[in-house]
Amino acid sequence: MSTLLRVVHSQGIKNRLTFLAKSTTVKVHDVAKRLVSSTSKKNDNVSDLPYPVQKPWISYGFDYKNKEVDRHKMHLTTFVCVTIGLVLHAFILGYMPDVTMKDWALREAFLQLRYREENGLPLVNPNVIDPSKVILPTDEELGDTEIII
């Protein structure tokens, strides 16, 4: 809007845009001047009202009788909800210990790998379960079942 007013104020465009005026008495030049001008107005009128007219007040729902108490409680509630509800909980969740123990399991796995490499042991023990305790089916029980290894 301000760019349009600047364009209208320029001398070359002003004379060419006179067809934009709705009536013959109003010129584009006068409209632009009227929109930009600012004057101080003196208020010499004395009101006959016994009390000043106040702007209607809509309560935030904390206090329906006192505007200041209502606004104070609203600001306090908003501050507490945002500060404690969001910021403090995010801080607690960020610094809470690992309850799933994923960090511990990964660290323990790296320690076991380093121990096995230093002592010349296989990385994975083939006899994790004692072979004498494993019961395998016989050839008669398997029959024609295809075994994929």
How confident is the model over 89-140, as pLDDT tens digits? 899 999 998 888 888 999 999 999 999 999 999 998 888 889 899 998 998 9
**40-99 tens-digit pLDDT:** 666 656 656 677 777 888 999 999 999 999 999 999 999 999 888 888 889 999 999 888
Q: How many CB atoms lie under 10 A from the CB of residue 43?
A: 6
Q: Tell me which amino acid residue 133 is.
A: K
93 near 85, Cβ under 8 Å?
no
**pTM higher than 0.75:** no
Tokens of 29: 């030049």
Return the H-helix or E-strand segment holding 83.
none
Residue 38 confidence (pLDDT): 61
Q: What angle do CA 47, 52, 57 make, to 5 degrees?
A: 145
